[in-house]
A and B are shown apart, each in its own frame.
Chain A
Amino acid sequence: MPQMTMRDALNQALHQEMERDERVIVLGEDVSGGAGGTSGEREASGGIFGVTKGLLPRFGADRVIDTPISESAIVGAAGGAALAGLRPVAELMFADFVGVCMDQIYNQIAKFRYMFGGRSTCPVVIRMAMGAGMNMGPQHSQSIYAMMTAVPGLKVVVPSNAYDAKGLLIQAIRDDDPVIFLEHKALYPRKGEVPANPYTVPFGEANLVREGEHVTVVAIARMVPFAERAVDSLAKEGITCDLIDPRTTSPLDIDTIVESVEGTGRLVIVDESPPRCSLAADIAASVAERAFKHLKRPIVRVTPPHTPVPFAPALERAYVPGPPRIEAAIRTVLKET
């Protein structure tokens, strides 16, 4: 099977879905770039992270739409076009930019189906790049899936590898509900095996990345490869873990997590978003409700501090949970009282 980066896997998903369904359009800032510039180079960008590269030459400017820097109009236009029968994939560039278009996300597209009594669907995908690790500072580095997961009506996708990224994006485009698709910037170059043909990865089904018996580790997005390193390192000592990647935070496959905890009795949750009202908090609450009697030790959450993401490399390194912190957390839950 061909090895491919997550960036290329996402790009292939967009190509294949646009090929399959002409209702699919792509819109956003610099999705092709070059419109109106002086060089005559029409695809001058292909998306700031290169995910939309090649779409303009293949599908044309009617379907690959460069927009002004107007996030409310981008998300709103995607929502309106979806109500009118298209299947738009909007790109917000950085996830941090949801701040300027939150109304269109949480009051408009998320609520149409419910407040119109089921009279409409809103098949929109909003792609955005999230996450720390590239020294992009407090307004270009946040992981916002907890905020999005808190909104009823939105589905929220957080791929950790190239295979899932392609299958989840195809599923998102075919899904009739609005989907927030969060791509971790630091994972774009991560390579994995990706089948050439289109396929879907269903929402709400966690991936059991590693199987073990001592500890359940749940990790999200970039925290998955970090947790893999910690788990693999401990395996050399005979400590084995279930490593669970939920893949989507809404819907969340809590059953798989609870079943694992029933077996291990120990839970570590690794989450790159700030700790308050986070996915880690949400998962911990659900496990405490459903598997309290199985827990042998208190749940441990591995998260950044409750601060903005800092710029300075030294500070950002301290902010992002890495394999050593995850390994230490696993050792903590293994301590006997």
Chain B
Amino acid sequence: MIDSTGLGRERLLRAYRNMRLIRDFEERLHVEIATGEIPGFTHLYAGQEAVAVGICEQLGDADYIVSTHRGHGHCIAKGCDPGGMMKEIYGRRDGLCHGKGGSMHIADMAKGMLGANAIVGGGPPLAVGAAIACKRRGAGNVSVAFGGDGSANQGTVFEAMNMAVVLQVPAIFVFENNGYSEHTGADYAVGSKDLTGRARGFGMAAECVDGADFHSVYDAMGRAVARARAGGGPTSIEAKITRFYGHFEGDPQKYRAQDEVATLRESMDCLKRFRARMRTDGKLGDPELDAIDAESLALVDRIVAEAKAAPPPSEADLYTDVYIDY
């Protein structure tokens, strides 16, 4: 198991680059969605970057994740092509899912990304199945179910957690507790107020971490992966975090106090916290992180321009990929 103190410069730069790209990707979508050019509706991940990246930095392509409606961050962190993602969000033919899925269904099997999922609680049963496959393969791979405090109240998630314990499969349940189940507070909707205690009740190891701190998430995930590989079964990781935007773009967020987001953008910004940590540890300097910031913005500029210019699917595409053969 690698803990965060063992991370070298390249790995730290990559972690920052991915967190930065997720932030810029989402901040830019926030602007572009307001123009009306992006079809449908979109749920932004900005604010939660350290969770996706902290978890996925412990994984390789042969490990699996199952994501949520708020999935752009998980996709980028797991290695999906951001250009293909942006085209998918714009509904283009050359999007990662050829425009058939959209923002809430981005998937890339080659990267072990088994799909974002528009049904809250739809993913964890699938992650248990991928974990069964990992166990059978016997190569030490793991399967991760991302979810939020909202999905934590779904019966499907309870079923998945219990079955993972019963079968002792290498599944890791990550609950990104951003405080809101859509427009309803987790302090209201989670009856026990304690997701981690509830997970422990299923008979699995469970811990709660500061989701804005990359290092804490990474280390918790390291412990979970080590446990899964040693045959110790599933783990629950609750990451306390916030989202910088609404449930979906256009959500007026009347359920949040007026200064809440502004305050949290100061105290819970994982990018600021990461930079501060690098200064303290002396591992990375501000100039190299500034360079990543500039590259990231340029990359987002480019993929947005490419997505806007890309062709839409043709009507013939409507009929493809329903069945392998019929």
Contact = CB atoms under 8 A, between A and B. Distances in A.
Interface of A: 25, 27, 62-63, 65, 67-68, 70-86, 88, 103-104, 107-108, 112-121, 152-153, 155, 175-177, 204, 251
Given A120-B115, A155-B326, 5 more contacts: A67-B163, A103-B122, A113-B324, A117-B95, A119-B96
Interface in B156-182: 156, 159-160, 162-163, 166-167
Given A72-B125, A108-B122, A251-B326, A25 B114 contact: no
Contacts of B97: 115-117, 119
A121 B137 CA distance: 19
Contacts of B322: 113-114, 152-153
Contact of B160 (A25, A76, A113): A76
Contacts of A119: 96-97, 107-109
B127 interface: yes
B321 A113 contact: yes
21 contacts: A25-B132, A68-B162, A70-B159, A72-B125, A76-B122, A76-B125, A80-B131, A81-B129, A83-B129, A83-B130, A86-B133, A103-B156, A114-B322, A116-B97, A117-B97, A117-B98, A117-B99, A120-B114, A176-B325, A177-B325, A177-B326
B234 interface: no
Interface residue range, chain B: 35 or more
Contacts of A63: 136
Given A114-B322, A117-B99, A119-B97, A84 B114 contact: yes
Nearest to A108: B122
Nearest to B108: A119
A77 B115 contact: no
Given A121-B324, A177-B323, A80 B155 contact: no
Contact of B125 (A77, A84, A116, A117): A77
B321 A79 contact: no
Given A117-B98, A118-B321, A80 B122 contact: no
Given A115-B101, A153-B323, A65 B125 contact: no
A80 B127 contact: yes
Contact of A73 (B66, B125, B143, B324): B125
Between B118, B129, B155, B325, the greatest number of chain A beta carbons within 10 A of the residue's beta carbon is seen for: B129
Interface of B: 64, 66, 95-101, 105, 107-109, 114-115, 117-119, 122, 124-137, 143, 155-156, 159-160, 162-163, 166-167, 320-326
Given A72-B125, A107-B119, A116 B130 contact: no
Contacts of B143: 80, 84
A257 to B, nearest CB: 17
Given A104-B125, A107-B122, A177 B163 contact: no
Nearest to B145: A80
Contacts of B98: 117-118
A65 B135 CA distance: 13
B132 A120 contact: no
B236 to A, nearest CB: 16
Contact of B105 (A71, A84, A116, A177): A116
The list of the 5 closest CB pairs from A to B, nearest first, reads A76-B125, A80-B129, A117-B98, A80-B126, A84-B133
Q: Is the interface of A mostly helix, strand, loop or mixed?
A: mixed
B64 A116 contact: no
Contacts of B129: 76-84, 86, 88
Contacts of B166: 67-68
Given A68-B163, A70-B163, A204-B326, A114 B130 contact: no
A73 B101 contact: no
A85 B163 contact: no
Nearest to B135: A62
A44 B326 CA distance: 39
A80 B324 contact: no
A79 to B, nearest CB: 5
A103 B119 contact: yes
Contacts of A76: 122, 124-126, 128-129, 156, 160
B121 to A, nearest CB: 8
Contacts of B326: 155, 177, 204, 251
Contacts of B99: 117
B181 to A, nearest CB: 17
A86 B321 contact: no
A108 B124 CA distance: 12
A153 B134 CA distance: 26
Contacts of A27: 132
B122 A65 contact: no
Contacts of B132: 25, 27, 65, 77, 80-81, 86
B321 A117 contact: yes
Nearest to B114: A83
Contact of A85 (B115, B124, B131, B133): B133
B176 to A, nearest CB: 20
Contacts of A88: 129
